[in-house]
Structure 1
Amino acid sequence: MTDTASTFACARYIKEIGRGSNGARALSRDDTYTLYEAMLDGRVSDLELGAVLLAYRVKGETSAELAAMLAAAHRSFEPLHVQDGHEHARPVSIPSYNGAHKQPNLTPLLSLMLAREGVLVLIHGVVDDPGRVTSAEIFAELGIPHAASHDEIEDSLVSRRLAFAPVGVLAPKLARLLAIRRVMGVRNSTHTLVKILQPFAEPGLRLVNYTHPEYRESLTGLFTEHPDAAIGGALLARGTEGEAVTDTRRQVQVDWFHDGHAETLISPEHSQPHAPHVELPQLLDAVTTARWIESVMRGDVPVPPAVARQVDVIAEVVRKPAI
């Protein structure tokens, strides 16, 4: 709901970004920050908020605009404080905002395997998404509760080396903008921002995924042109239906952005007809997926090779000394 006592006028911003795919112009970094901060604070009227979200949906965000929005997003919530037992190890954050509807959602498997390797893992995302199987639903079936406060997130990271944080608990202002999708029917800039969020006060490694090639280009520009956005490091790869876990059918390219540099850690390989069969759950529902994950963790079912390689790469990166 808009804070009518301090309504933020958006006409001059909409005039720039709302001219369509060919005529729209990017806002300056300062204007972008100011506008997105007002949106997060609820100071933009519903009419103007819808106009801004649709304008960016058509225009797309430049890397500078994304950097400014991300800075405002980080100022909108209290970051997490965790201490790891390893001198150089960093915690890992995994966004989970898409779930699955064509392939099994293996983000919880990736998370549990990393935690077993001694890595602190935060998964943040939505609790439910009609028509999709969310990580939150699978974690519930695995007996891993959703954190209900920042203290619970931090406590779970210490006790389990793993925590699932609903975005409404981690960053409620961002959650409010995400929820507008159910009213408008389309995603908005916030769906990109939550996938690149740095939730830790002492910066951790982020898994960042994309679904369309143009997002790879914009995110590469963000992390290379705006080093502040990559503090703590980011592993960028094409996800599985929008989830950060690697595709079990092929090995995708993984790029590591850190300290103003970019390194390709895994080169892409295309799916082959003779590729080894990977045993996956036959049904996509949360119960079936959870039972299958438990069987993998027990060693009764082999780990998909692509996921095993992803775990190895992440575990190696988080233990590299930060420059």
Structure 2
Amino acid sequence: MSYAQYIKEIGRGAEGARDLTREEACRVYAAMLDGGVPDLELGAILIALRVKGESIEEMLGFLDASDQRMHRLVMPHGRVRPVVLPSYNGARKEANLTPLLALLLQRFGVPVLVHGLLEGFGRVSTAQIFRELGHLPVGSVQQAQQTLSAEGLVFLPLNAFSPGLHNLLALRGRMGVRNSAHSLVKLINPFAGEAVLVAPATHPDYIELMRALLLERGQRALLLRGTEGEPYANPKRRPRLELVSRGQVDILFEAEHDSLRGLPNLPEAIDAASTARWMRRVLDKQLPLPKPLANQLACLLYASGYADDLNQAKAIVAVEATGMAMGGN
């Protein structure tokens, strides 16, 4: 395959470049995932896409190629849908609370699959906090299936189910900038069925693109502005929480804009050990769960089918998880 024709189209800069069709994007990305693109052309494609910006059709094509090469998990038995938490950013300024959200869902019997990277690259990763809490990553999809059945919670490294995407993510260290794969991994559902994906947008402008992609692909997802790119609601100020399902979008909670009356009780430091200690105290009900996370937990109990409606989910969380009163929208 010659890649010059594609580079010529997408490499003319933000003003002169042409978007690839969905089919072209799928063809090119498939070769990239398979390791079939020479280094020079691969770097040119990645930088051209970053400068131009990916279109919806291109992202759909990239996701098509990723789907075709992904090692899938079988959906768990039962009426409750599993929840998928993509965790790729880690903590830089705020404590990473993704493991807490996963553990709370597990407590309610909602199957949870967290996928991400083992390395923190200078940040505190979810895998590092899980280790402090006694939850070790698995090494294969088969092990993930067994652990999920036995424990209801598993951390699956990206390279175990999508090695091609893992290799593209790893290019950041060599190239110095992110590429399309960093966006794709937050839209991946490794299950062969309708799980609930928690889709965290890193920047406000990206929420619209993610929403359009989720709708086009018919995915069930809870869309939000992630905290430093992680899939949990900011404990200091709740972002808007949108449920995308069956071709429509329902706003379950609006974003909070009022001034803070007081800061929630949060970990004293962002390192893995301090974060894990704080999480144990929240799980033991020695400390209150920050309200934005309680709101997000209620959304996921509803989206997963654990609760019949959002009001029931709010009541369940208030009584069983936190003992705190939960307000309306």
TM-score range for the pair, normalised by the shorter chain length: over 0.9
Match among 26, 30, 33 for residue 23 of structure 2? 30
SS at match of 1:47: helix
Q: Distance in 1 between matches of 2:233 and 2:260?
A: 19
Match among 11, 14, 18 for residue 7 of structure 2? 14
Q: Is the 8 A contact 2:3 2:41 kept in 1?
A: yes
Q: Superposition pairs for residues 183-194 of structure 1, below 5 Å?
A: 183-194=174-185
- The answer to whether residue 168 in structure 2 is matched with residue 182 in structure 1 is no
Q: Superposition pairs for residues 104-253 of structure 1, below 5 Å?
A: 104-224=95-215, 226=216, 229-231=217-219, 233-253=220-240
CA deviation vs aligned residue, 1:10-64 (integer Å, no higher than 9, x gap): 1111111111111111101110100000100111000000011111111111111
Q: Distance in 1 between matches of 2:4 and 2:69?
A: 23
Q: Distance in 2 between matches of 1:129 and 1:192?
A: 17
Percent identity between the aligned chains? 42
1:47 paired residue number: 40
Question: How far apart are 1:219 and its partner, in Å?
Answer: 1.3
Using CA pairs under 8 Å that are at least 6 residues apart, name the structure with larger relative contact order, 1 or 2: 1
CA deviation vs aligned residue, 1:109-134 (integer Å, no higher than 9, x gap): 00000111111100000111222000
SS at match of 1:123: strand
Q: Distance in 2 between matches of 1:41 and 1:53?
A: 15
SS at match of 1:283: coil
CA deviation vs aligned residue, 1:57-115 (integer Å, no higher than 9, x gap): 11111111111111110111211113233x2x211100000000100000000000011
SS at match of 1:316: helix
2:246 paired residue number: 259
Q: Is the 8 A contact 1:82 1:157 kept in 2?
A: no
Q: Distance in 2 between matches of 1:129 and 1:83?
A: 29
Instruction: Give the root-mean-square deviation of aligned CA atoms.
Output: 1.3
- The answer to whether residue 43 in structure 2 is matched with residue 56 in structure 1 is no
Q: Give the aligned length.
A: 307
Question: How far apart are 1:198 and its partner, in Å?
Answer: 1.6
Q: Is the 8 A contact 2:243 2:249 kept in 1?
A: yes
Runs of 4+ off more than 3 Å: none
Q: Is the 8 A contact 1:108 1:139 kept in 2?
A: yes
Q: Distance in 2 between matches of 1:29 and 1:268?
A: 33
1:3 paired residue number: none
